[in-house]
Structure 1
Amino acid sequence: MALGGRPVAPQLRASAPALTRSVLRRLLAELPVYAALPDEELAGDIAEIVQHTLRLFADVIERRQPMDGPDLAPQRISAAQRAEEGVPLDAILTAYQIGVEMCWRETTARARPDELPAVLELSTHLLRLQRELIASVSAAYLEARELLEGDEYSDRRLLLASLLAGEEPDVVAGRTGVRPAARYVVLTLALAAHPDEARPGPVAVIAARRKLRRIRQALDRFTGEPALTALDAAGGTALLAVDAPPPWPSLDALIAHAAESAGTPVTAAAAITEPADIPAAVTRNAEVVRLVRDSGRGPGLYRLADVLLDYQLSRPSAASAGLAGLLAPLDHKPDLLLTLETLLTHDLDRRATAATLHLHPNTVDYRIRRVAALTGLSPNRTSDLHHLNAALVARRCM
């Protein structure tokens, strides 16, 4: 099919990037909910679906046949994601209408009077595409909302609540109609705020929902079935049903992938346990995450073995006060205490310590000598190093 003496399909494909930008500008100007979306979402998910739809129409014109059902899968996925984020359905359908209108104007702008039959044929294809888009997008959106609010979601929430309460498997099965798995990966997640969550207006709410959706998607893909989650913008608990304990590196990779997908750092603790031990695992995981954050460790996945010293010293003990007291001479010398903590965090690497604190390495050496003079303990002596680490942990835990 040609208009203005040029094939329509290749012309539309070539102009798709520029036309996508024009569509986005109109969405921002005419639909307040799109103007409130995070820039990352507009430039990513929304722009991709606009361009995919334009190229899909080019394929329809080239074949002069209706599209197949799978062709609209990206649009259905996008509609479900917008439903989870709380974007209204009427705004989504209006956005597609704007895109269809601009596509029609782009493809017919150079049509000559003698090409009226071709214009009518193109319009027929475009109207059919619009009808199928509206039907598919509406169905996917409503299905996603129904899932969020329906019985299946409620059953999962009830199962999660029963497991967190420590109920016996037979009792859980009787209450929920679902028998718990033999074992679960128990995850406690601490989520940093996405930069868009600091923006004013509804964009912050949408950004938080998008972050949680991407976290849940990563968790669901790990086991191939919906995870049991109780999450808000700051984090929460997730239970992943597994047949056998997964290798620790795979769980580590899961958390890294979730953080990358959500665009925000994630600090997590994990334990693999049977249903009866889930409440204790959740409590222990929360303590692990707290100790990790208090000690200044970076984001990532941790287990109890990674913070054993911190965990033990956080328990009430007569020795804790004595250990913390080893550093009492530094109570009013925060620069010396910070330098010591940073040096131990960097495994005694004085240059890395200096770079972190924006000091000269010689200044680090001087401060460490002052620490040794005041406390009698030097990180350069192996026997003192253990005492210094324990003393710092004890101070944090008091």
Structure 2
Amino acid sequence: MTREGPRDPGQSAGLSPAAVALAARCEPKVNELARRMAREVFEQLRGYSGLPADVKDVEIAATARHAMRLFLRGADGGVAPDALEHFQERAAQRAEEGMPLHLLLRTYGLGVRELWRVLRDTAAPEERDALAELAEALFTAEDRVVGAVTESYLDEQAALVAERQEQRRSRARALLEGAMDPGGPVVHGPTLVLYARFMEPEPSGERSPVAVRRLLRRAQTALDRAFGAETLALLDAGGGHVVVPGCGEAPPRLLDALREAVGPEVRVAWAASQSAQDIPAAGRQVAEVVRVARACGRPPGLHRLDDVLLEYHLSRPSDASDRIAALLAPLGARPELLQTLRIHLGQRQDRRATARVLSLHPNSVDNRLTRIQELTGLDLGAPRDTALALAALSVRAADAAGGGVADGGATGGGPARPGATV
């Protein structure tokens, strides 16, 4: 660590004796210059005047004083890494206090300018070469310090953001599980509980971690803006739950905002709970509504319980669930037939609409439907068999979705548990 105490100017091998002598003559002016910068020079920066007096008059002035002495006592551009620790610690502190990065960096820029003016005004005409040496050394040192400060600030800011996000996730998880809220006041009154399922992964494989982070950041930003507050989101790459205490209904453009943020394939359902005790049940219901709507071939968008009442009812676990799911077992090796059945039922058995969704000729849809009926024995023209097909699709989807909790999503397979992926 570079010491604040006296140092032999001759130790600065990179500077000429004339440059070292000029720097030494400027050092007695450091205290007054640091005070003037903290009280007057930095006041021209937007946002600086609102800082607490102790930050301006003590910490910022002390940092400016340390930086100038560090340079004038021999720093010739080769700033040692440990000499930067002081500035890195202050940068992390400023990030924690919420000072904007541009404001922090401007203080360093103005400080360099003011020190240059002192060097220039102190230099005699015959010290022009020495002044040029110090100018080059000063700008080199500034580059090193600003780089270290920026890196430290951004690291601290990223850590703070991650901490706030985890706090929000913990609160959402606790409320959805019916546990005591660990990060805020007890929830009273209505709370909106939302479940969103994002677009399916690309055929080439899972999204990259960078793509997932960007997706979640866009989703969180869209939610916060739509509700006008920080929402408690428990999201992963596939979607998840959002809890908004004190809110009884969703904003009118919420679905549009989510589509713009994560893509047109998003599926959303929400419900209002009237007390904290109702939040877990609401979370299970909205996740199940989305799962059922997807399993039955309904197009992406907003799903309401009333829209899938029959399918929701038919998909409830019972002693007959395994036998109902087995009705579609003959289609297990023909995923294109299962997809056609799902889309066809979702399109209200309109063969032309089904053909459009699947990009097929209507005759091809007819051929597939005929094959489905041959393999399963179900008559899709009969109301009872159509209901059985819907129930079988829903039960199969529930079975496929069950089997574990993935942080951030919702469960499938029977009553949904908050926190698993469907």
Return the TM-score normalized by structure 1: 0.50
Deviation for aligned residue 1:389? 3.0
Contact 1:194-1:208 at 8 Å conserved across structures: no
| Secondary structure of residue in 2 paired with 1:318 | coil
User: Could you tell me how far 1:162 is from its partner in structure 2?
Assistant: 3.9
Where does residue 284 of structure 1 map in the other structure?
285
The equivalent residue for 1:105 is: none
> Aligned residues: percent identity?
40
- In 1, distance between residues paired with 2:261 and 2:153? 22
* 1:186 match: secondary structure: strand
After TM superposition, the structure 1 = structure 2 runs for residues 201-220 of structure 1, keeping only pairs within 5 Å, are 204-220=208-224
Partner of 1:232: 236
* Aligned residue in 2 for 1:221: 225
User: Could you say which residue in structure 2 is the equivalent of 1:258?
Assistant: 258
Contact 1:165 1:279 in 2 (8 A): yes
The equivalences for 1:19-58 within 5 A come to: none
Alignment partner, residue 161 of structure 2: 148
1:156–1:228 contact (8 Å) kept in structure 2: yes
Q: Secondary structure of the equivalent of 2:187?
A: coil
CA-CA distance at 1:370 after TM superposition: 5.3
Q: 2: distance between equivalents of 1:217 and 1:244? A: 20
The 5 A counterparts of 1:74-153 are 145=158, 147-148=160-161
Counterpart of 1:364 in structure 2: which amino acid?
V
Alpha-carbon separation, structure 1, partners of 2:226 and 2:315: 33
Residue 52 (structure 2) aligns with? none
Q: Partners in 2 of 1:198 and 1:390 — Cα distance?
A: 30
Distance in 1 between residues matched to 2:166 and 2:284, nearest whole Å: 24
2:363 maps to what in 1?
362
Q: Which residue of the partner structure matches residue 345 of structure 2?
A: 344
Give 1:148's aligned amino acid.
V
Which of 150, 167, 172 in structure 2 is aligned with 1:160?
172
- The Cα shift of 1:317 comes to 1.9
Q: Secondary structure at the match of 2:196?
A: strand
d(CA) in 2 for partners of 1:390, 1:305: 16
| SS of match in other structure, 1:236 | strand
Amino acid at match of 2:193: V
SS at match of 2:219: helix
- Counterpart CA distance in 1 for 2:248 and 2:303 is 20
Instruction: Report the AA paired with residue 362 of structure 1.
Output: N
Give 1:4's aligned residue. Answer: none
5+ residue gaps, structure 1 = 1-66, 71-82, 84-88, 98-133
Deviation at 1:226, TM superposition (A): 0.8
The residue type paired with residue 380 of structure 2 is P
Residues 305-316 of structure 1 mapped to structure 2, 5 A cutoff: 305-316=306-317
Q: Hey, what's the Cα distance between the residues in 2 that align with 1:275 and 1:141?
A: 37
Q: 1:336 to 1:254 in 2, by over 3 A?
A: closer
Q: Structure 1 residues 189 and 332 mapped into 2: Cα distance closer, same or farther (>3 Å)?
A: closer
Question: In 1, are the aligned partners of 2:295 and 2:393 still within 8 Å (CA)?
Answer: no
* Higher gyration radius (CA): 2
Q: Is the 8 A contact 2:178 2:279 kept in 1?
A: yes
Q: Which runs of 5+ in 2 are unaligned?
A: 1-43, 48-94, 96-100, 110-145, 400-422
Preserved CA contact (<8 Å) 2:248 2:272: no
Matched position secondary structure for 1:230:
strand
In the alignment, is the contact (CA less than 8 A) between 1:211 and 1:263 conserved in 2? no
Between the two proteins, the alignment pairs up a number of residues equal to: 264
Shift, 1:239, TM fit:
1.1
| Counterpart contact for 1:194–1:263, Cα < 8 Å | no
* Residue 189 of structure 2 is aligned to residue 188 of structure 1: no
Secondary structure, counterpart of 1:390 in structure 2: helix
8 A Cα contact 1:270 1:285, kept in partner? yes
Q: In the alignment, is residue 241 of structure 1 matched against residue 248 of structure 2?
A: no
Range with greater deviation from structure 2 (319-328 or 140-149): 140-149
Partners of 1:372 and 1:193 in 2: how far apart? 29
Of Structure 1 and Structure 2, the greater helix share is in 1
**Structure-2 change in CA distance of 1:325 and 1:256 (3 Å):** same
In the alignment, what sits opposite 2:271? 271
Q: Residues 144 and 198 from structure 1, CA distance in 2 versus in 1: closer, same or farther, beyond 3 angstroms? A: farther
